[in-house]
Amino acid sequence: MKGKFILVIGPSGSGKGTLINHIRPLFPALQYPKSSTTRSMRANEKHGEHYYFLSREEFQSRIESGDFLEWAEYGGHFYGTLASEVMPLLDGGMTALKELEVQGVRQLQKKIPKEELAVIFVNAGSWSEMEARIRARASISETELEKRKERYQDEMNFMSEADFVIENHSGEVDAAKKRFAEVVESLIAG
């Protein structure tokens, strides 16, 4: 039997990372395929931990080689999932979970059979709530912030198409963590 690919989406600042960190110790068999990106490394990041940090030239050349299952430009940088990160897991019957933005989800929906995909949307409310969280998390330029705001509505438009929606408004993070863990557990159980 093939495995399942769980996609976690939601606007920048909606708390996807917090929810994913919460479940890491809970489901040891769950796999986390890494992303590749051309954005610069943040202070708390290491190459190959969450991201492979590639130059724009290298990213472009891997697009041309057909190495990416999906890729998108977001906030002026490239982000993508290498097929080699995911297909061996699904072929081996494992469950994998990955955070990505909606253009990538749409590409994966065309490539991976419906029964092997599940989309979880994290909704944390208005742009002003998101903006406060993004600013608190990392130093970010006003230009980059403006780009993320433009993408906010695109991401929100996907909510009605997701298989599951987790509400993660300010002050409700514990309830959101619990609900997220329940949904992931139900997907792992098949």
**Contact between 79 and ligand 5GP (CB under 6 A)?**
yes
Please, what's the b/e burial string for 127-142 (b: 16 or more CB within 10 A of its CB; e: otherwise)? eebbbebbeeeeebee
Integer-rounded Cα radius of gyration of the chain: 16
d(CA 27, CA 88): 19
Applying CB under 6 A, the span of 101-109, 116-124, 158-166, 171-179 interacting with ligand 5GP comes to 101-109
Q: Which of 30, 53, 59, 81 binds ligand 5GP (CB under 6 A)?
A: 81
**Contact between 121 and ligand 5GP (CB under 6 A)?**
no
Of 16, 15, 23, 82, the residue nearest 48 (C-alpha): 82
**Residue 188 CB, nearest approach to ligand 5GP (Å):** 21
d(CA 100, CA 10): 8
**Contact between 108 and ligand 5GP (CB under 6 A)?**
no
Choice between 72 and 89, CB closer to ligand 5GP? 72
Applying CB under 6 A, the span of 59-67, 100-108, 123-131, 168-176 interacting with ligand 5GP comes to 100-108
Q: What angle do CA 171, 167, 182 make, to 5 degrees?
A: 105
Binding site residues, ligand 5GP, CB under 6 A: 12, 35, 39, 70, 72, 74, 79-81, 99-101, 103-104
